[in-house]
């Protein structure tokens, strides 16, 4: 690779062992992907935070790196951890897990990263602008940043995003290059999309069909931010999509012809297959989980409207960042939620928390991504449907057809 003088100094260890290790990772990746050079980034978002996924080996790896005085040089946020960093006792997290989880976060803090643990960093200040090069690793956030904001990132792994944060650079390849951002499949949407769960269902179906390609959606007339984040999250889960375009809505699709010549067309005229495949047969529900990706303030308001002050029979978690939770508190929404017996849970989610250890077996969600991962990653029976049905399940304790 063609490295600048400063990048060579980093690689030679002239800026310390921690920086050297970061540059070694990036050069190795650059060589794998035939990147000719590095590009400077504006921000980073690092996955690999939950102790449930990292285990002791991951914790040691981070502590070793932090000891080598590696410090980030661009604004960097973290992915969700395995627990609410403040209210973990209330969730029933064990002391042993909490101790290890806090050690993970401490290691990141020693590297200069603020403990903002969220998969929606763009809602809490880590907000790139159109055309910014960034290095993010949470797949739903990657999809959102590339597609809805028009920033440029590959789907980084946790270590490569951290290495990018420490050096302020990433190898120039993949979605950083204009020519790789064209739609490879035209997706003609002929069914009605109404609820957030419909967007998750659509993302699940399309991701499954196209893998890591770039879809160009036609026929979606309107979509708000929460619907687009649900769509991207599901595309990235059932497939490995990192970028999508929606005609007339997402920024690149508004200004350029973003379809490759010869792109195949796929017609989606029903979401039934997704609702069928993502639903188990369980009727009993013990947890309703809303907020995958992490809930916005508007989503929390909608839950309050639907609860109408009624008491719930199951546990109900609305997962979000601590910053959005604080905003909800200031607006009086937290009080309303807690009055019904529900919780706004910060810093974590049902997939990365040790959910089975907390005793949950049957979960209802309106998120396509969570419905896709919950059986395989957490061993849970899932019910997937609209927010309205999820809230009714929380109130009755049962999933009604
Ligand atoms: Fe975020 Fe957890 Fe869903 S990390 S995208 S809430 S699986």
Q: Determine contact, residues 247/222, Cβ cutoff 8 Å.
A: no
| Predicted pLDDT at 254 | 80
Residue 321 confidence (pLDDT) above 80: yes
**pLDDT value at position 63?**
97
pLDDT of 336 reads 97
Ligand 1 in reach of 119 Cβ (< 6 A) = yes
Across 166-175, 246-255, 284-293, least confident range: 246-255
What's the pLDDT score for residue 326? 98
Using a 6 Å cutoff on CB, does residue 292 contact ligand 1? yes
Query: pLDDT tens for residues 287-312?
Result: 999 999 999 999 999 999 999 999 99
What pLDDT is attached to residue 257?
Answer: 86
User: What pLDDT does 256 receive?
Assistant: 73
Please state the separation of Cα 148 from the chain's center in Å: 14
| Nearest Cα to Cα of residue 98 among 357, 378, 362 | 357
Spacing, Cα 322 to ligand 1 middle (Å): 14
CA 191 vs CA 202, 209, 243, 262, 302: distances in Å: 10, 17, 22, 24, 24
Angstrom CA distances, 147 to 14, 182, 269, 298, stand at 38, 11, 23, 21
Single pTM value for the model: 0.97
Locate tokens 């309205």: which residue? 388
CA–CA dist 98, 115 (Å, integer): 15
Mean pLDDT to the nearest integer, 240-260: 93
Instruction: Give the β-pairing of 38-40 and 169-171.
Output: antiparallel
- Degrees to nearest 5, angle at CA 211 with 209 and 215: 75
If one residue of 140, 234, 344, 378 were mutated to test the ligand 1 pocket, choosing by the most ligand atoms within 8 A of its CB, it would be: 140
Residue 401 has pLDDT above 90, yes or no: no
Give the full edge-to-edge strand order of the sheet including 362-365. Answer: 343-346, 315-320, 287-290, 362-365, 381-384
Six-digit token string for 386: 């609209």
The answer to whether residue 192 scores a pLDDT higher than 90 is: yes
The span from the CA of 124 to the CA of 332, in Å, is 19
Q: Going by CA atoms, what residue is nearest to atom 6 of ligand 1?
A: 292
Question: H/E/C letters for each residue in 213-227?
Answer: CCEEEECCCCCCHHH
Index of the ligand 1 atom closest to the CA of residue 80: 4
Tell me, what's the pLDDT at 108? 98
Q: How far apart are CA 219 and CA 269, in angstroms?
A: 11
Average pLDDT value for residue range 8-31: 98
216 closest CA partner among 172, 255, 179, 260: 260
Give 331's pLDDT tier (boundaries 50, 70, 90): very high
Q: Please give the share of the chain, as a percent, with pLDDT higher than 90.
A: 98
State the DSSP H helix or E strand holding residue 345, giving kind and residue range, or none if neither: strand 343-346
Q: How far apart are CA 137 and CA 160, in angstroms?
A: 8
User: What does the block give as tokens for 232?
Assistant: 């991207």
> Which ranges of 111-241 would DSSP assign to H, the alpha helix?
139-144, 158-167, 196-210, 225-238
Name which of 340, 284, 332 is nearest 312 in CA terms. 340
Residue range 40-60: average pLDDT? Answer: 98
Contact 346, 244 (CB under 8 A): no
CA distance linking residue 122 with residue 275, whole number of Å = 29
**Model confidence band, residue 81 (pLDDT cutoffs 50, 70, 90):** very high
Confidence class for position 255, pLDDT limits 50, 70, 90: confident
For 239: left if phi > 0, alpha if psi spans -120 to 50, otherwise beta; the answer is beta
State the DSSP code for 82: S
φ/ψ (deg, to 5) at 159: -60, -35
pLDDT attached to residue 310: 97
**pLDDT value at position 193?**
97
pLDDT tens figures, 262-272: 999 999 999 99
Parallel, antiparallel, or unpaired for β 315-320 and 343-346? parallel
In the reported structure, the alpha carbon of residue 261 is separated from the centroid of ligand 1 by a whole-number distance in angstroms of 34
Tens-digit pLDDT profile for residues 105-145: 999 999 999 999 999 999 999 999 999 999 999 999 999 99
Secondary structure of residue 121 in the 3-state scheme = helix
Question: What is the per-residue pLDDT for 245?
Answer: 98
Ligand 1 centroid, distance to 370 Cα (angstroms): 7
For residue 52 and ligand 1, the question of a CB distance below 6 A is answered with no
Q: Verify cis geometry, omega within 30 degrees of 0, for the bond prior to 293.
A: yes
User: Is pLDDT above 90 for 400?
Assistant: no
pLDDT in tens, 352-399: 999 999 999 999 999 999 999 999 999 999 999 999 999 999 999 999
- pLDDT tens for each residue of 239-248: 999 999 999 9
DSSP 365-377: ES-HHHHHHHHHH
Q: Is the CB–ligand 1 distance for residue 349 below 6 Å? A: yes
Ligand 1 pocket test, pick from 78, 204, 294 with the greatest ligand atom count within 8 Å of Cβ, gives 294
Is the beta carbon of 47 within 6 A of some atom in ligand 1? no
């Amino acid at each position: 690779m063609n490295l600048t003088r400063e990048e060579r100094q980093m690689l030679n260890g002239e800026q310390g062992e921690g920086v050297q290790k970061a540059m070694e990772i990036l050069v190795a990746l650059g060589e794998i992907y035939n990147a000719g050079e590095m590009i400077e980034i504006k921000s980073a978002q690092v996955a690999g935070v939950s102790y449930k996924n990292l285990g002791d080996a991951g914790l040691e790896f981070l502590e070793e790196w932090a000891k080598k005085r590696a410090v980030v040089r661009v604004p960097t946020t973290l992915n969700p951890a395995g627990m609410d960093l403040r209210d973990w006792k209330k969730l029933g997290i064990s002391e042993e897990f909490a101790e290890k989880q806090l050690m993970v976060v401490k290691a990141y803090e020693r590297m200069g990263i603020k403990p903002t643990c969220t998969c929606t960093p763009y809602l809490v200040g880590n907000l790139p602008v159109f055309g910014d090069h960034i290095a993010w690793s949470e797949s739903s956030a990657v999809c959102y940043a590339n597609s809805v904001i028009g920033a440029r990132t590959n789907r980084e792994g946790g270590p490569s995003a951290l290495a990018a944060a420490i050096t302020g650079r990433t190898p120039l390849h993949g979605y950083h290059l204009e020519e790789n951002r064209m739609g490879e499949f035209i997706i003609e949407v002929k069914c009605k999309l109404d609820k957030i769960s419909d967007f998750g269902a659509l993302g699940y179906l399309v991701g499954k069909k196209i893998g890591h390609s770039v879809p160009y959606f036609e026929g979606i007339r309107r979509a708000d931010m929460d619907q687009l984040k649900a769509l991207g999250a599901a595309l990235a889960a059932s497939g490995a999509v990192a970028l999508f375009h929606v005609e007339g809505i997402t920024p690149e699709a508004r200004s350029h012809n973003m379809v490759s010549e010869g792109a195949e067309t796929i017609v989606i005229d029903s979401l039934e297959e997704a609702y069928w495949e993502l639903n188990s047969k369980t009727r009993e529900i013990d947890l309703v989980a809303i907020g995958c990706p992490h809930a916005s303030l508007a989503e929390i308001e909608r839950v309050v409207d639907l609860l109408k002050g009624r008491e719930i029979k199951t546990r109900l978690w609305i997962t979000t960042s601590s910053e959005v939770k604080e905003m909800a508190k200031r607006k009086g929404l937290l009080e309303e939620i807690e009055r019904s017996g529900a919780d706004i849970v910060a810093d974590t989610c049902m997939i990365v928390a040790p959910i089975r250890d907390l005793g949950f077996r049957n979960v209802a969600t309106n998120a396509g991504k969570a419905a896709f991962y919950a059986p395989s990653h957490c061993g849970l029976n899932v019910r997937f449907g609209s927010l309205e049905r999820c809230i009714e399940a929380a109130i009755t304790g049962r999933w009604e057809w």
